[in-house]
Structure formats: C-alpha cells, structure tokens
C-alpha cells in the first residue's frame, strides 16, 4: 500500500502549479485550466484522507466539488467566448469591459 504522504505531496505539487499558472499567465483559458488543476489537487487530498481514514464523506464531497467545477467551466467558457467575439482576444488584462 502506498503511503498517504505520497498522495499529499503530489496534491501539494499540483496545487502549487495551479497557483503559479493563475498568477503568472494572462490567457483566460490557461487560467481556467490552472483553477481546475487546483480543484483536482484538493480532490486528491480529500480522496486520500477519505481512503486512509476509512470514511466515505470525503469521496461524496469530491463529487460535489466536481459538479461545481463543471458549472464553473461552463459559465467561464461562455463568458470567454462572448468576450472573444467582442474583442478578439483572451487576454485577461483587456477584460475590463465587463465592469459596470
């Protein structure tokens, strides 16, 4: 059996890469992928604790997080597609036209 620390280290690495992707990149699609990577890192942590503690609550919560992530991607991509049709770019710095 693989120790839980391996999964937690992998989760920390994935989460760190996601944070770096959100902070450094300016492309909206790359930022969405980085947010998804962070959510999957948290899911891996929840599954790890759920498996090693013998409790199913973490796995149920992962299903909820996956549903919220799917909704976030659908709304985010719809906003991005609308913006690309309007401005012909996915640069986040130029998305100030969405303000009131």
* Cβ 14 vs Cβ 41: under 8 Å: yes
Residues 6+ apart with CB under 8 A from 56: 50
Query: What is the enclosing helix (H) or strand (E) of 44?
Result: helix 28-53
Domain boundaries, the chain: 4-88
Q: Say which range, 4-13, 42-51, 90-99, has the weakest mean pLDDT.
A: 90-99
In this structure, which topology does domain 4-88 adopt according to CATH?
Answer: Helix Hairpins (1.10.287)
C-alpha span between 88 and 13 (Å, rounded)? 34
Assess whether pLDDT exceeds 90 at residue 62.
Answer: yes
> HSE-up of 97 (CA within 13 Å, CB side)?
13
pTM of the predicted structure, to 2 decimals: 0.84
pLDDT of res. 22: 94
Structure tokens at 16: 């760190």
Assess whether pLDDT exceeds 80 at residue 56.
Answer: yes
């Amino acid at each position: 059996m693989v120790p839980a620390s391996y999964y937690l280290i992998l989760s920390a690495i994935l989460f760190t890469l996601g944070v770096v992707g959100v902070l450094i990149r300016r492309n909206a699609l790359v930022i969405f992928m980085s947010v998804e990577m962070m959510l999957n890192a948290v899911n891996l942590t929840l599954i790890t604790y759920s498996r090693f503690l013998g409790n199913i609550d973490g796995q149920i919560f992962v299903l909820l997080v996956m549903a919220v992530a799917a909704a976030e991607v659908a709304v985010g991509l719809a906003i991005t597609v609308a913006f690309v049709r309007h401005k012909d770019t996915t640069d986040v710095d130029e998305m100030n036209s969405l303000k009131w």
